[in-house]
Amino acid sequence: MNNLLKDKNILIMGVANKWSIAWAIAEQSYRAGAKLSFSYYGEKSLRSLEKLTEGMKDVVFVECDVTKDQDIENTFNMLKERVGVIHGIAHCIAHAKTEELKGKFMDTSRDGYAMAHDISVYSLISISKYAKPLMTEGGSIITLTYYGGEKVIPNYNVMGVAKAALDASVKYLAVDLGKDNIRVNNISAGPIRTLAGKGISHFDQMLKAFEEKSPMGRLVDPAEVGKTALFLFSDLSSGVTGETIHVDCGYNVIGI
């Protein structure tokens, strides 16, 4: 797998720290020969990234708060200057207020609903639009979803509804961009202990239930999500678009 992404420029969005799924994707992509750019949100993430990427060659950092159109536009203007062509993007960004990730879904606030969808869903749409002119050699856009967009998961609430919207957006974007040889796909990861995961009330119970019920009887390793991203970025998946691949040790096939 060493040269699978040789000469490919990949943008990784959403590394907060070493536990971020985005970082697992970055590691796999770098090992496969990709040149990496990172967009980050906030100084703390930049400091983590600088540490994590020590020793990596030709890395580009750009600040991007996805709630700001100007930041998204600046990100791609900057990447046009620094790297020219982009071949792949990992969109690993989601956020909801902590108070929305517990209790009843029907208590979701209007602004909490809007915020979760703006950051976790609209961002993918806007990013795809600004990325298109840089994907002149074809491209692969990947986002991360969760089973809570397909079935009801206690406490996941507004984020589940946002993931359902994200899942549908992947299909619409795949149609918009398919003729330009830009593919858009979704990885549905099993629960992984990250900063975002810890924001969900009773997350430890979710992990335990998952471990007990999943056909493989274990949790997902973030590196496994990274390897699936590698497949989706590479030519191995050249005919795959609008798809959701579950990397969840088979959890989604279980009825009871």
The interface region with ligand NAD, picked from 62-70, 102-110, 170-178, 228-236 by CB under 6 A, is 62-70
**Binding-site size, ligand NAD (CB under 6 A):** 27
Instruction: Tell me if 16 contacts ligand NAD by CB under 6 A.
Output: yes
214 interacts with ligand NAD by CB under 6 A: no
Residue 119 contacts ligand NAD per CB under 6 A = yes
Site for ligand NAD in 150-189 (CB under 6 A): 189
Q: Binding segment for ligand NAD among 25-33, 48-56, 127-135, 191-199 (CB under 6 A)?
A: 191-199
Identity of the residue, 14 or 139, whose beta carbon is nearer to ligand NAD in the bound complex: 14
210 in Cβ contact with 191 (< 8 Å): yes
**Coil, helix or strand for 38?**
strand
Q: Which of 5, 10, 62, 66 binds ligand NAD (CB under 6 A)?
A: 66
Q: Is 65 in the site for ligand NAD (CB under 6 A)?
A: yes
- The answer to whether residue 93 forms part of the interface with ligand NAD (CB under 6 A) is yes
Whole-number Å distance between alpha carbons of 132 and 137: 10
Residues 196, 251: contact at Cβ < 8 Å?
no
8 Å CB contact between 20 and 194: yes
Please tell me whether residue 234 binds ligand NAD under the rule CB under 6 A: no
Task: Name the maximum alpha-carbon separation found in the chain.
Answer: 53
Q: Residues, the chain, total?
A: 256
For residue 91, what are the β-bridge partners?
13, 143
Q: How far is CA 204 from CA 8, 16, 100, 148, 192, in A?
A: 38, 20, 17, 16, 10
Our finding on whether 20 is near ligand NAD (CB under 6 A) is: yes
Catalytic residue numbers, as ranges? 146, 156
Comparing CB distances to ligand NAD, the nearer of 181 and 252 is 252
DSSP 78-143: HHHHHTS---EEEE------GGGSSS-GGG--HHHHHHHHIIIIIHHHHHHHHHGGG-BTBEEEEE
Nearest to 5 by CA among 251, 226, 250: 226
228 binds ligand NAD (CB under 6 A): no
**Any contact of residue 76 with ligand NAD (CB under 6 A)?**
no
The answer to whether 178 touches 216, Cβ cutoff 8 Å, is: no
Q: How far is the CB of 51 from ligand NAD (least distance, A)?
A: 15
192 binds ligand NAD (CB under 6 A): yes
Lookup: tokens for 65: 């708060």
Of the ranges 10-18, 25-33, 53-61, 77-85, which one interacts with ligand NAD (CB under 6 A)?
A: 10-18
Q: Does 72 bind ligand NAD (CB under 6 A)?
A: no
User: If binding is defined by CB under 6 A, does position 62 make contact with ligand NAD?
Assistant: no
List residues near ligand NAD by CB under 6 A: 14-16, 20-22, 41, 45, 64-67, 92-95, 119, 144-146, 189, 191-192, 194-197
